Structure 1
Amino acid sequence: MVKAPEPRLRSLDGLRLLAALMVAAYHYGGRDGEVARAWGSSPRDQFPTLHSYFAYGCLGVQVFFVISGFVICMSGWGRPLKSFFASRAARLLPAYWAAIVLVTAVFALPVVAYEAVSPSDALVNLTMLQQPLGVDRVLGVCWTLWAEVRFYALFALLVVLPGANRRRVLLFCAGWMVAAAIARGAHEPLLDIVVMPEYAPFFVGGVGLYLVHRDRRDVYAWSAVAVGWLIGQHEAVAALWRPASADAFAHRTVFGIVLVVTLGFAAVAAIALGRLSWVNWSWLTTAGALTYPFYLVHEHLGWPVIRMLHGVLGLPARMTLTFTVLGLLGLAWLIHRFVERPFGPRLKRTLTSA
């Protein structure tokens, strides 16, 4: 029997959107690269003070992974493997395919002046396997989806397939963290691909927080959360901290990285414990629905929008940033309304009945 859906946690939808906006702030004003061509100069010149804060926006990805651990454990609990697979595919693929087609088409326009991937590589991108195949990516953010897909596969095979229960989920968390530690010491590329030691602590922390949501007195669940946070902050610092340098775009401090990671864990923990149950505004459901399509398209399609608003129309940088985010949220709504809503349920029914 398929379980009845749990009440929607609208505060989690709000946190999703906040994490997506963090990543957008990073892509638009927290680093150099292609976005500097859109602005006409380094974002450091456009946002002399804010750029150093925007540089921490990349940690929105780690917050996403904690949320994903929570949501996937909740989604897989009491659900057969076919239903779990169908729900994940229906959630990810329609908007993803639409984003691939849209970004490829826009970048093929001569007026956009950004290099598009080859038609062959664009077709491979439809499989979500471009990352391990070494194919040029249409969407800059799709590397995070490759991490998500591997998490789904591990959770499906080790938890959903045999049947989710507290003991099995705890063993999954403990086994994954031990495997991640071994992978760090082994320096074996295949093990790194499967176990994902740099991201595993965040997924495990989120899974542990779902167990806390079910029983806040569960000491073992809290232990999984604590280990996820302890190792996660280390992985984030190791990946994102660099010594201060005059040539660096922005210097992220160890304290700043640990603080953002801690706040991400704390926010999901507050939701798990019901401390944010008062955050129950109906519009957050829409915000949660827009988060995924916005996340997919915001980076690459944000570049031509910034170039038009700032370079052609001459709008100030902060106004350009605001209008770009709002415009891409509007596009995300269109993708949700005309792609996800009609085609997601159809795909789910097709896969469930196959």
Structure 2
Amino acid sequence: MSLPSSSSESVPPADLTASPVVHASRPATRGGALDLLRLLAALLIVVYHFGAESPMRIERFHPVFARGYLATDFFLMLSGYVLGRAYGPSAISGRITHFQFWLRRAARVWPGHLMVLAAMAGLVFALNLIGTDAHKPSRFAWDQLPLQAMLMHAWGFNSDGWNLPSWSLSALIVCYALFPWFWRAANWTRRPWLPIAAAAVVVAAFDVASRRTNGFGFSEVSIGLSDLPLRIGVLRALPLFLLGLCLARAVELNWPSEKTATVLLTAGCVGLVILQLIGRFDLPSLVCLAAIILGAGRLPVKHPKAWIEEGAKLSFALFITHILVGVIYWSAVHKLIDTVPIGIGWQWLMWIAGFPLAIGAAFLFHTYVDQPVQDRIMPWVRGRGR
């Protein structure tokens, strides 16, 4: 499950976890296109990570399977968009303070992260106790555990093992802290396209700077923004989060028109598919992703689907638990394959079986662990913020 550079990553949860605050003057935002895209991207991330465990690496079928980092970029932008729509006006009006906002977001992602990390540490400890190792034991260095627990491992520290996707949580914790200032900056003009253009320039500048400095000095070769090592993931998250936030500001100003939004959504989806079929084009792909978010976000949800909304809510649990499920399942599968002759067909069936297991585990975690914990701590967090 550990892949090099941009490969060994995952979808950030935010805001797989954010439930937009829908004001009376706004159309419904849940159960529509953005929630469906969120769910599909989360599922693709699981395919991407589990692809390393297939009988034959799935990117051999097509290079598109090696570009799961685009789903990460999508969620980083979507995080800024969702939080801008949910909290932007409140941040400007003062209904929610800087500290209240950060505390609520940290309280939403930290408990789930800690619970899964503790379960993973307990599993690895138990396996070591009986004289065996978890699948790919080099990923579980005990001296990296404190940084993981404190969500500091995407701030330049060399700690990208354990629950690999949590690097995005670490990066987003910083984005949450900067959100009020970012949102105020996006409000400096009433021209909706101008903040988007400025944020796009920032994204391009970060990409150019990364290529000219060999990943800001963290790589031996020239790499783009999406290839930055996970230990400096915060440098990747910040410009993309800012872009998503500026997209939210445009929608707040009722831009573009619904007709144009439909064109943007369609063109973004078609363009993204074509780009992936013909080769790797990261910056044009980011443009397509931004068009998809802007188009889908601007269009009202006329026929919300409950299953889409529930699936989107499940995405955070799937994001945070699928590596733990993989450690358990693939440890058992590879041990079995090493000891018993198993045909390639059965190996593919066992690989496919990993997906319903991951989804089922995510459902159980969301329903019986994460949501009950949130129900208990959020009232305290809101009171503490006041």
Using the size of structure 1 for normalisation, the TM-score is: 0.71
Quick one: structure 1 residues 265 and 136, their matched pair in 2 at CA, closer, same or farther if it must change by over 3 Å? closer
Partner residue, 2:144: 121
State how 1:1-354 maps to structure 2 within 5 Å.
5-6=22-23, 7-11=28-32, 12-29=34-51, 35=53, 39=54, 43-44=56-57, 47=58, 50=61, 52-79=63-90, 80=96, 81-110=98-127, 113-114=134-135, 115=137, 117-132=140-155, 133-135=157-159, 137-159=161-183, 165=187, 167=189, 185=209, 198-217=236-255, 253-255=279-281, 257=282, 260-274=285-299, 277-278=301-302, 280-309=304-333, 312=336, 314=342, 316-354=346-384
Aligned amino acid, residue 335 of structure 1: F
Q: Distance in 2 between matches of 1:175 and 1:265?
A: 14
Classify 1:284/1:321 alpha carbon distance in 2 versus 1 (closer, same or farther; 3 Å): farther
In 2, Cα distance between equivalents of 1:139 and 1:72: 24
Whether contact under 8 Å (2:151, 2:167) holds in the other structure is no
Tell me the TM-score normalised to structure 2 length.
0.66
Question: Unaligned 5+ residue runs, structure 1?
Answer: 227-232, 242-250
User: Equivalent residue for 2:221?
Assistant: none
Task: Determine helix, strand or coil for the equivalent of 2:164.
Answer: coil
Following superposition, the deviation at residue 218 of structure 1 comes to 5.8
Distance 1:117 1:195, change over 3 A: closer
- Write the deviation string for residues 88-121 of structure 1: whole angstroms up to 9, x where unpaired: 1232112111111122222334255332635453
The letter of the residue matching 1:264 is L
Distance 1:134 1:197, change over 3 A: closer
Partner-residue secondary structure (3-state), 2:151: coil
Deviations 1:273-317 (A, max 9, x none): 216x25621012221122112112223531442453576385635
- What is the CA distance between 1:202 and its match in structure 2? 2.9
Q: Distance in 2 between matches of 1:78 and 1:269?
A: 18
Contact 1:87 1:348 in 2 (8 A): yes
- Contact 1:310–1:317 at 8 Å: present in 2 too? no
1:230 maps to which residue? none
Q: CA offsets, 1:22-64, max 9 Å, x none?
A: 22222122x5xxx4xxx5x6x33xx485453321223110111
Q: Distance in 2 between matches of 1:340 and 1:172?
A: 36
Q: Number of paired residues? A: 312
Q: 1:65 to 1:136 in 2, by over 3 A?
A: closer
CA–CA separation in structure 2 for the residues paired with 1:271 and 1:151? 23
Counterpart Cα distance in 2 of 1:201 and 1:23 = 21
Task: Give the % identical residues.
Answer: 20
Higher mean C-alpha displacement, 15-24 vs 300-309? 300-309
- Of residues 166-175 and 16-25 in structure 1, the stretch that sits farther from structure 2 once superposed is 166-175
Give RMSD over aligned pairs: 4.1
CA shift, 1:209, in A, is 2.4
Residues in 2 aligned to 1:72 and 1:204: alpha-carbon distance in whole angstroms: 11
Q: What secondary structure sits across from 2:359 in the alignment?
A: helix
| 121 and 252 in structure 1: CA distance in 2 versus 1, 3 angstrom threshold | farther
Conserved? CA contact 1:77–1:165, under 8 Å:
no
